[in-house]
Amino acid sequence: MKTDDDEALASRLERLWPERMPDMSANLSDAVPVKRRTVVQAGAALATVQLTGCATTPEPQLAGFIDPPMPERPPTMMPVSLKVNGRNVRVTVDTRTTVLDVLRENLALKGSKKGCDHGQCGACTVLIEGRRTNACLSLAVMHDGQEITTIEGLGTPERLHPMQAAFLQRDGFQCGYCTPGQICSSVGMLAEVKLGMPSHVTRDLQAPGALSDEEIRERMSGNLCRCSAYPRIVEAIRDVAEGRTS
């Protein structure tokens, strides 16, 4: 039985994370009481038409997204060559393996973090061919032959990248889990700014202006920080953008 509290909670959660909130409470026997049988019958009839169409006629068939169930096959293994932080590596992976998993599991580069694993939090951000990318939504086999830079490749404790130094100087983190993604993302973001790429808050598309705090916040919205270190992250990025760190 669905309670008012459940519904209020689900509604609140959906507001907080509206894109992909799986429903936490809706009870379907309550939710869809009507005409289920009719719907099922209609669906069965349609399915028959589709299958018949597929099997017997060469007529164009609309590409519905429902495929007949197929037995699951053993994993497909494929070789992948990558250039990670300047080093050529070759691994053989299950086609399902993401770039993030290759970095962390095959290459022991644990700087890139697995947060949500769905491209929502940005903790896995790395630079692929120089562009900031969610490594968790990138299949390794699709990036064969490409260059990847992770937080480990940006700088070392002895020779920090200016952005790493700025995050330290400005204390742009608390727990640090999102930080490698924040830093890789901000490096990629500043490269986009340098190319003159506009953002949602850019007033004049023809002539993007200075990198205001509003611009930094908008451009970094794909990196979440649950400690909410945002003000200091913005300061750190501003320092680098304005050449105030070394």
Partner 1 sequence: MKTFSYERASSPQAAADAALARVGSRFIAGGTNLLDLMKVEVETPAHLIDVNRLGLDKIESLPGGGVRIGATVRNSDLAADQRIRKDYAVLSRALLSGASGQLRNKATTAGNLLQRTRCSYFYDISKPCNKRTPGAGCSAIGGVNRMHAIVGASQQCIAVHPSDMAVAMRVLDAEVETVSARGRRVIPIADFHRLPGNTPEIETSLQRGEMITAVLLPPPVPGRHVYRKVRDRASYAFALVSVAAIIDAASDGRIRSARMAFGGIAHQPWRVTAAEQALAGAAMGPSSANAAADRVLAGAQGYGHNDFKIPLLRGTLTAVLAEA
Restricted to residues 65-84, the positions that interact with partner 1 (CB under 8 A) are 65-68, 70, 72-76, 78
The reply on whether position 46 binds partner 1 by CB under 8 A is yes
Least spacing, CB of residue 36 vs partner 1, in Å: 6
| Burial of 145 from C-beta contacts in 10 A (0-12 / 13-18 / 19+) | exposed
The reply on whether position 36 binds partner 1 by CB under 8 A is yes
The reply on whether position 1 binds partner 1 by CB under 8 A is no
Restricted to residues 130-159, the positions that interact with partner 1 (CB under 8 A) are 131-134, 137-139, 141-142
R_g (Cα) of the chain, nearest Å: 24
- Of 3-11, 101-109, 149-157, 161-169, the window that binds partner 1 (rule: CB under 8 A) is 3-11
CA–CA distance, 103 with 143 (Å, rounded to integer): 13
Host H or E run for residue 39: helix 36-56
- The binder of partner 1 chosen from 1, 55, 205, 210 (CB under 8 A): 205
Residue 181 structure tokens: 């993604």
CA–CA distance, 243 with 33 (Å, rounded to integer): 63
Nearer to partner 1, 16 or 158 (CB): 16
Restricted to residues 214-233, the positions that interact with partner 1 (CB under 8 A) are 217-223
| Burial of 33 from C-beta contacts in 10 A (0-12 / 13-18 / 19+) | exposed
Least spacing, CB of residue 236 vs partner 1, in Å: 17
- The binder of partner 1 chosen from 48, 51, 92, 94 (CB under 8 A): 94
- The binder of partner 1 chosen from 1, 5, 18, 57 (CB under 8 A): 18
- Three-state secondary-structure class, residue 14: helix
Measured distance between the N- and C-terminal CA atoms of the chain, rounded to whole angstroms: 61
